[in-house]
Amino acid sequence: MTFQQELSSWNPFSTPQHPVQKVPDVGDQAPSTPQLKLPRSDRKPVVMAFLRHCGCPFAEKTFSKLKEMAEQNPEVHFIGVSHSDQPATEKWLKDIGGAARVQVVVDDHQESFSAYGLGLSSLWAVLNPSSLFAAINLGKTEGYGVRPTESGSRWQEAGVFAVDANGRIAYSHRAQTSDDLGDLAQALRSVKAPVRAQL
């Protein structure tokens, strides 16, 4: 990592942007992009997290939760979408212990981010005191410290979505602040078939 790479992550114009679409609502057909083709051919439901830049502790915590849920729920397909480039994403994955059962999609031109209504955050969303304190606390209490940022933008919005077997949105959440991780448990519940009691 170089100082220039770290500095570039603070530049809101450092990464290309596609026109940002409306955030899809529950019941809408899920946007399909070259990177994210939905619905899946195997008709598995999907829980996916659009991540903040590689190196962000909130991205790491989100991805850690995805890995844990993927191990416990093989009937659901889990995806982490990175907007950092391929080399930076691969290095980050190696640093945090790999992807396990989570599919990682690299969307460094933000085509999929934009299709799901995720554009650039405001100054307040990134640098408000509550989010800054949460980042510090995350490192102290859970071990998710700040890692080097070799690619990506600190201003890129994150989000969590769930898509059912028919390709419709079952859960939709655009992060309001950098420490807003959404509700992955609710996203999973929205696409899991209810357990039927045995008669």
CB within 8 Å of 62: residues ≥ 6 apart? 49, 51, 80, 158, 160, 181, 184
Domain range for 53 is 42-191
Distance between CA atoms of residues 48 and 187, nearest Å: 9
pLDDT score recorded for residue 137: 74
Residue 34 lies in a domain: no
Residue 18 lies in a domain: no
DSSP line for 41-86: TT---EEEEE---TT-HHHHHHHHHHHHHHHH-TTSEEEEEE-S-H
Residue 6 lies in a domain: no
pLDDT one digit per residue (tens) for the chain, 199 residues: 444 444 454 445 555 568 999 999 999 999 999 999 999 999 999 999 999 988 899 999 999 999 999 999 999 999 999 999 999 999 999 999 999 999 999 999 999 999 999 998 767 666 677 776 677 776 667 766 666 767 778 889 999 999 999 999 999 999 999 889 999 999 999 998 654 434 3
Residue 82 lies in a domain: yes
Are 112 and 35 in contact by the 8 Å Cβ rule? The answer is yes
What is the CB-side half-sphere exposure of residue 100 using CA atoms within 13 A? 17
Instruction: Name the residue with tokens 């077997």.
Output: 165
Residue 35 lies in a domain: no
pLDDT score recorded for residue 93: 95
Residue 197 lies in a domain: no
Cα–Cα nearest to 85, from 162, 10, 5 = 5
List the CATH number of the domain containing 175. Answer: 3.40.30.10
Number of compact structural domains in the chain: 1
CB within 8 Å of 37: residues ≥ 6 apart? none
Strands across the sheet containing 103-106: 103-106, 77-82, 46-50, 159-163, 169-174
Question: Count of CB atoms within 10 A of residue 142's CB?
Answer: 12
Q: What is the pTM of this model?
A: 0.85
Distance between CA atoms of residues 55 and 199, nearest Å: 50
Residue 168 lies in a domain: yes
Residue 21 lies in a domain: no
